[in-house]
Amino acid sequence: VSVTPGSKQIISTDVANTKKTYVPSASSGTKNVEIENASQVQLKYAVMLDVPVEELNNTLLLEAIDHWLGTKYCLGGSTENCIDCSAFTQNLMRDVYAISIPRTAQEQYNNSTHIKTKELQQGDLVFFQNSKHNISHVGVYVANNKFVHASVSNGVMISDLNENYWQQRYKGAGT
């Protein structure tokens, strides 16, 4: 990771002779936005998440999500070729917020400050448990009960906390 003047982060990986570079736009970051000044990524996710564009003020988060969206899942993966849920959240926290969090979903849960679901904000972690009551899955809250995560079946995607599958497994949220 290298930081250049103007607060642009350039994040590159070289995997299997394929180089992908993620460069946030000059307007990245958290700020209030009016629809007339909204970026393409803000407009795209306003439609996808069914929220007013004015609620999507963290363009750096949206650009990072957009970069990873569709990446396939693999257990233990941590690259743009394949990634698991906790490596995905670890990467987002590092790249968007410059925060270092543990590698596994259980460790991320144990080390987070737990918050109530009604207090969820963009960038908070959402945790899910398996039948043994262990934390087995984690994602990042975006807006309107939607979260982004690396799913086993579809890779990096956006899901709704109100879906029956996720409601049954939801354990809590944290910052």
Amino acid 64 reads A
User: CB–CB of 49/143 below 8 Å?
Assistant: yes
Provide the annotated active-site residues: 85, 137, 149
